Structure 1
Amino acid sequence: LKMGQHGAIRLQNEVQDGVIPVHELTEEEQWAEEHRKMHEKHKGHDAMHMEMMLIFIISVVVGQIFLVTWKRKHFKSYQMCTLIGMITIPVYVCFSRSWWRFIATWLVFIVFSAFIWIRASAQHISGGTPRMVYKWFLFLHKMSYVLGVVGYLIMMAALLGFHVLFGVTQPTLMDVGILFMFYGVYYGVLGRDFAHICTDRMAS
């Protein structure tokens, strides 16, 4: 109890000036109050978010136009730069995160592809070199195709609930499917670019 100015007695937790203590609010009222405070805190940010979205869209469009123009007018430099980026960037990320499985497969791919490229770039190409180049990149094409299909089937199995048959969780089976698809797409694209480079070297 607390004595007022005119001798009136009032409760200490009585509402003053229309403000209800937070601990007296219901859970829904507390959530609504937090939501209101959040809106007041971020008032005026909608315009900033819209500007950021417009900048992002413009950057994507301009970047796409630049890449298409670069590829059309300077295909060899475009192909070489994208190939170097695809070779180095994933390896750096995997090395920093200690994903040794990818690095092991990458090393195998690089060693064999480098050997094929050296044979294709020789000044005097032997008669069996074109056949060897064709067989290697045909193998890469088939392997990437199989990995992509297997990855897709595994992902569909996870979505349809077949993970219970394997005794694993759905996210685990989905991760396996995504991993297979990644390997298929990654080495498929690298193999295609290497094949173009090797055929150009042999033709020149």
Structure 2
Amino acid sequence: MTDDFAKAYLLDDLRWARRALLSKVDGLSEYDARRPLTSTGTNLLGLVKHLTVTEARYLGEVFGRPYPEPLPRWDDPGYANRDDLWVTAQESRADVVAAYERAWRHADATIEALPIDAPGRVPWWPQPDVLLFNVMVHVLTETSRHAGHADILREQLDGVTGVAPGAASGRDDTDWAAHRARVEGAAREAGVGD
């Protein structure tokens, strides 16, 4: 496998995962896009905001290509990893989405400008000396992970499912109810005696 192929493959997957994540906020009210849906406050627009910081930092500062907009710093006094996982009432959805798109353009420029074995430094990692390849895999993993969270959150909100932007599951509610009943039955049977 060539370096150029690997870099292009990872970047294509990252672009797909970004679009999949953004599709999960389409068509929602402002309230539903930002309301907490788990006990830890996880919400759709907060995931977008979090990944903005992730892309800007990992595919910017780590490679000596600082992001031109202010970002919370991991070493700021009082900073907690959850601080970028929610959206204030004053931040519009359009602003959050636009910020994410700017961050990914900056990240793409870094990826396109550097070879896949370009060195970088992630001071908060146990092994801080990294290559662009390592960071691309990390950002793709992080984006895919949060896109999966977004899939579940969106399904909880209005039942919309799908694995790609604009794609629906292809099953109707009756199919899903029957499938859920099968899953529930298997869980109950396996749990007998618990």
Superposition TM-score tier, normalisation by shorter sequence? under 0.3
Q: Give 1 or 2 for the bigger CA radius of gyration.
A: 1
Q: TM-score, normalised by structure 1?
A: 0.25
Of structures 1 and 2, the one scoring higher in RCO (CA 8 A, sep 6+) is 2
Q: TM-score, normalised by structure 2?
A: 0.26
